Amino acid sequence: MSHSLYSASVPVLRQLLGSLAAVLEKAEAHAQERRIEPDALLQARLYPDMFPLAKQIQIATDFAKGASARLAGVEPPRYEDGERSFAELQQRISKTLGFIDGLKEADVEAGATRAITHGSGERARHFDDGAHYLTHFALPQFFFHVTTAYAILRHNGVPIGKKDFIGAY
The answer to the question of residue 72 being in a domain is yes
Q: What is the pLDDT of residues 81-98, one digit of tens each?
A: 999 999 999 999 999 999
Sequence letter at residue 95 = K
Asked if residues 71 and 2 have their Cβ atoms less than 8 Å apart, the reply is: no
The answer to the question of residue 144 being in a domain is yes
Asked if residues 73 and 111 have their Cβ atoms less than 8 Å apart, the reply is: yes
The answer to the question of residue 151 being in a domain is yes
The answer to the question of residue 1 being in a domain is no
Cα 31 versus chain centre, distance: 22
Q: For the chain, what is the domain count?
A: 1
Q: DSSP code of 154?
A: H
Please give the model's pTM, rounded to 2 decimal places.
0.95
Please tell me the predicted confidence (pLDDT) of residue 119.
87
pLDDT band at 61 (very low <50, low <70, confident <90, very high): very high
The answer to the question of residue 13 being in a domain is yes
Domain with 32, as residue range(s), is 6-118+125-166
Nearest-angstrom CA–CA distance, 113 and 111: 6
pLDDT band at 19 (very low <50, low <70, confident <90, very high): very high
State the average pLDDT for the chain: 96
Residues in the chain: 169
Please tell me the predicted confidence (pLDDT) of residue 161.
96
pLDDT band at 35 (very low <50, low <70, confident <90, very high): very high
| Helix (H/G/I), strand (E/B), else coil: 169 | coil
Q: Is the dihedral of CA 28, 34, 36, 42 positive or negative?
A: negative
The answer to the question of residue 159 being in a domain is yes
Mean pLDDT of 67-75: 96
pLDDT at 3 > cutoff 80: no
Give the whole-number percent of the chain exceeding pLDDT 90: 93
Q: What is the CATH number of the domain that holds 158?
A: 1.20.120.450
Please tell me the predicted confidence (pLDDT) of residue 120.
87
Mean pLDDT of 126-144: 96
Using alpha carbons only, give the angle 11, 17, 22 rounded to the nearest 5 degrees: 125
Nearest-angstrom CA–CA distance, 28 and 36: 9
